[in-house]
Structure 1
Amino acid sequence: MTVPPLVFFSFVTLEGAGPAEHRAYNEWHQLDHRPENLALPGVLWGDRWARPADYRDGVASAEHAATDYVAMYWFKDPIEQSLREWSDLGSDSFQWGRGPLIPGVQRKLLSFFRPVKGYAAPSALVSPDVLPYRPNRGLHLTLSRHAEPHSGATHEHYAWQDRTLIPGLLDLDGVAGAWTFSFAYHQSHPSLPLATETPDAAESLRIRLVYLEDEPLDVSAAILKRTAELAGDREVGLSPEAAASEEVLLSTPLRTIVPWQDW
């Protein structure tokens, strides 16, 4: 896979919904919405994950604490055409009465990010470009805000992630690899209400995905433990200024959805 110019993330909440509502949403997304998107020539890949109740012990801001599902789509060049066809599908789906405006669904983040860098664990025996297509058991996702995205402290934090943190996670059992993403802009679509009115500056948000091939709760616990150890290490850890540059908005394990089994 040639690294695409943009990746789309959707954080979805079904606040107060019961099993019937979750099943209806999963059926729509897995059997209708996702296949229609994957058939578009400009979509390289798309996937989604669940965040059930027992996956919510991590850090979460008020805005993202109730996140139930995360979806992502990778787009290829020519990006303008790819996004236009994808947006047109959303409008067509609304006209067909098949979404994306689904009762009870709240989208707390609808945003495009630029892929920064991929990392593959030696045990995975593949390149980072292959990770999105490779089967996984789930993810560990970190969404952060850097209020001063081009400061020296933020630069130090990014260098530490690239040279210390992520390499330190790749040798953990159950970690297949990781990708980092930098915020580009929020989506605006006529068939959907704005997910956020926050005027986030370009590159002020960062997403780190760690791809998991073992039980997500167990691997995520190991990831958090290793992260704390590396951050606090006197020789390779973060300076106080670099640590303070990051506001973690969501740090959570996610579980891969198995159609019908997880509905």
Structure 2
Amino acid sequence: MDDHDTTRNYYSDAVGTPSDEAPDILATGHSDIDTLYVSMSKRHPEGYDADYLRWHSLDHRPEQQRLRTLRTSLRVVSTPACRTARAAGCDGYECVDHAMFYFFAGRDAGMKEFYDLAVALNQAGRSPFIMPPVNRGAYTLDGAQAAPRIRTGRDVLPWYPVRGLYLLLEEGAAPPLALPALDGVAGIYHATSFDCDLAGIAAGQKLTLLFLDEDPAATAGTLRPLLEARWAEGTARPLLAAPFHCVVPYEWDRYLP
């Protein structure tokens, strides 16, 4: 076969030892992410969702990377198929169509830097869009796990290329959701909200974030029986259980509510 034959699949299956099972890999470094900030909003009342995504992706979101404590971010959108695939939505969370996730290293310093930049951008006239907010939450990262099949480790999950996220918000004393051994689920984050001036969510809410590398709505269908069995036990009350697509740069209207 010609070395330049583009039909050849050079990476058909992940090979080798998963990073989380390789001490020498882990010895080279770990992620210092310890805080998540999540902003949830409704669709634009006049249908300007694509315009909003364009502004936020090209102007607002890149500016956040100047913050010393910010490690990365992800923006996701709920499509009609995603909404149909939701397993739960109540207490106002059923209106969530957009969600933005920021991953910080350093809780107090991160929230202060985040606030200071928001004020500065606003004073510079750089915040023209306001989407109808649903809620905002600040969360302490409690744990993470990557599916062994993807080989890359839990430390780098926020940088792993995903098609979307599954956002699970719960109240109650249920133990953390175990990483489902399902196609489409690349990894999982567990976090608990804390009181924060920048957030409307009170301390104690449980957030589970599933990183998805297959179609979000289809993966949600395989997750639903597991979640319903979890809730039937009575120790967790779901507020939102919903799949979302990642925004595709320069294809702002590809995934819309």
Q: Fold-level match, TM-score > 0.5? A: yes
Instruction: In structure 1, list runs of 5 or more residues that go unmatched.
Output: 147-153, 189-194, 232-237
SS at match of 2:95: coil
Asked if 1:115 corresponds to 2:125, the answer is: no
Separation in 2, partners of 1:61, 1:96 = 37
The residue number in structure 2 matching 1:172 is 182
Separation in 2, partners of 1:24, 1:50 = 13
SS at match of 1:83: helix
SS at match of 1:26: helix
* Cα displacement (A) at 1:186: 4.2
Asked if 1:220 corresponds to 2:220, the answer is: yes
Asked if 1:66 corresponds to 2:95, the answer is: yes
The residue number in structure 1 matching 2:65 is 38
Q: Once the two structures are superposed, what CA deviation does each residue of 1:30-73 show, in whole Å capped at 9, x if it has no partner?
A: 01111000222210111110012221132111411121111111
CA contact (8 A) 1:15 1:66 kept: no
CA contact (8 A) 1:50 1:257 kept: yes
The residue number in structure 2 matching 1:4 is 33
* Cα displacement (A) at 1:80: 3.3
* Count of equivalent residues: 222
The residue number in structure 2 matching 1:92 is 120
Asked if 1:182 corresponds to 2:192, the answer is: yes
Q: More helix by proportion, 1 or 2?
A: 1
* Cα displacement (A) at 1:227: 3.6
The residue number in structure 2 matching 1:258 is 248
CA contact (8 A) 2:189 2:209 kept: yes
CA contact (8 A) 1:110 1:187 kept: no
2:163 counterpart (114, 122, 137): 137
CA contact (8 A) 2:31 2:156 kept: no
Q: Which amino acid aligns with 1:61?
A: C
Asked if 1:16 corresponds to 2:45, the answer is: yes
* Cα displacement (A) at 1:174: 1.4
Q: Which amino acid aligns with 1:142?
A: L
CA contact (8 A) 1:111 1:187 kept: no
Separation in 2, partners of 1:61, 1:107 = 15
Separation in 2, partners of 1:17, 1:207 = 30
C-alpha RMSD over aligned residues: 2.0
Q: Once the two structures are superposed, what CA deviation does each residue of 1:193-221 show, in whole Å capped at 9, x if it has no partner?
A: xx74x7x3x22x11111111111111111
* Cα displacement (A) at 1:15: 4.9
Separation in 2, partners of 1:5, 1:180 = 11
SS at match of 2:94: coil
* Cα displacement (A) at 1:84: 2.1
Separation in 2, partners of 1:261, 1:91 = 29
* Cα displacement (A) at 1:16: 2.9
Separation in 2, partners of 1:144, 1:80 = 24
SS at match of 2:36: strand
TM-score with structure 1 length normalisation?
Answer: 0.78
Percent of residue pairs identical = 24
SS at match of 1:143: strand
Match runs of 1:196-215 below 5 Å: 196=200, 200=202, 202-203=203-204, 205-215=205-215
TM-score with structure 2 length normalisation?
Answer: 0.79
Instruction: In structure 2, list runs of 5 or more residues that go unmatched.
Output: 1-29
CA contact (8 A) 1:60 1:250 kept: yes
Separation in 2, partners of 1:185, 1:17 = 33
CA contact (8 A) 2:188 2:208 kept: yes
* Cα displacement (A) at 1:223: 1.2
SS at match of 1:224: helix
